[in-house]
A = this chain, B = another copy of it.
Amino acid sequence: MKFVFVIVLAVFLQCGTVWASASADSIIGTDRPDGRFLSSRGVVQQLMKDRSPTLAFDPNMDPSGFVQWQADMKAAMRRLMRHPSTEVPAPRKVKTVIRSGYRIEKWESYPLDGAVVPYLVMIPDGADTVHPAPAVLCIPGFGQTKELLAGETVGDFNLNGKPAENPGKNAMALHYVRKNVVAVVVDNVSFGELADDGRADYLNTSRMLLEMGWSYLGLTSWQDKVVLDWMKTVPYINKERILVSGFSLGTEPLMALGLLDDSIYAFVYNDFLCTTRERILVMTKPDAQGNRPFPNSIEHLIPEFLTTFDFPDIVAALAPRPVICTEGGLDRDFRKIRKAYEWSGAPDNFTYYHYAKYADPTVRMDVEEVPQGVDRTQFFRIVNCDPPSHYFKTEWVLPWLDDLLGK
């Protein structure tokens, strides 16, 4: 039985070299004539395979059902994120520093009774009550801080020092404020100023949240929602032009906020577009020690998320609001999303770029299904992801932004 899978795998793949090392035990199979699995992993693999996400976007659906589908997606995200329904105290400004062409205000928000969550607000010179500016909520990736995104010195939470000398591409918020956009920057839960005595603490925090029936993404997106709601009340911000920009891990709260808040104007999605359920199901190739890869760490675990929808479905549900995806993925998914944008009457509002390495269609993989039995490196190759080139793509985002904001 396992050999059949290997043959299917070999036939299926367009590029032979990558999977040359795939062996029988990379595939989770069963030798039983009744097709039942003895291994629990096999059983659970089958169970997950059988459970297609209930709200998966179907490009063959009747387009007249699209709006209702979007409403269902939004309701599902509300259910999954479990945001508190209580009022929160108003944020408070704690510091202002002047930079060349803009100022940075440090604010504190109070999203939960026991919590203080600081954030930075970068206000370009010229933005004021009379001339409210567009604004963007900037959400960092794993291991990134709000100071990094702001082009400040990493670790200088009180902005006592000077800005970073070479802020680099990943200083997302700095790039925005230089475009005369108000850039609001947050930390993700458990990192940066929110770390545990200076240490990243994604795992323990995620675990405790999960014990309580909440999740890392639930809390992170709630913290971000509090800041986003505050942004709408600021007189120098044009609340009709608020964007959300997420890098890597930060694309997850971006997607949550996108479905939770119709007032967001547009989205910058800076990561490859991943079908996460598929990633879990296909990455079954044991490593040198014989262990299959663990999907990813538990800050990405939201029970019932992947049985409800996956990342491409969520992006499709953002139509017709402008979205730019900057780091590719599978054309299969982009075709689906484009269909959603066509149905919503704004096909040009969805923009995407592949990694430079896979920009050429003859080099790019274009499969309808990623085969089981791959490791992380093989998975990334198949879905056209080039991890060493994972950075904030100013080259695509900034011209797109100019165009979007009509400058």
Name A residues whose Cβ lies closer than 8 Å to a Cβ of B: 25, 28, 32, 34-48, 50-51, 110, 112-116, 118, 189-190, 193-197, 199, 201, 203-205, 207-213, 219, 277, 280, 290-292, 294-295, 298, 301, 303-307
Contacts and interface: CB of A to CB of B under 8 A. Distances in A.
B47 A212 contact: yes
Contacts of A47: 112, 114, 208, 212
A25 B36 CA distance: 51
B203 A294 contact: yes
How many chain copies does the complex carry?
2
Of the listed residues A28, A195, A199, A306, the one surrounded by the most CB atoms of chain B closer than 10 A to its CB is A199
B280 A208 contact: yes
B42 A196 contact: yes
Given A44-B208, A207-B301, A208-B295, 10 more contacts: A28-B196, A34-B116, A36-B116, A42-B196, A44-B205, A47-B114, A204-B295, A207-B294, A211-B306, A211-B307
B210 A39 contact: no
Nearest to A213: B304
A118 B45 CA distance: 19
Contacts of A36: 110, 114-116
A-B pairs, 7 with minimum CB distance: A46-B114, A213-B304, A41-B196, A36-B116, A43-B115, A40-B190, A40-B189
Contacts of A28: 196
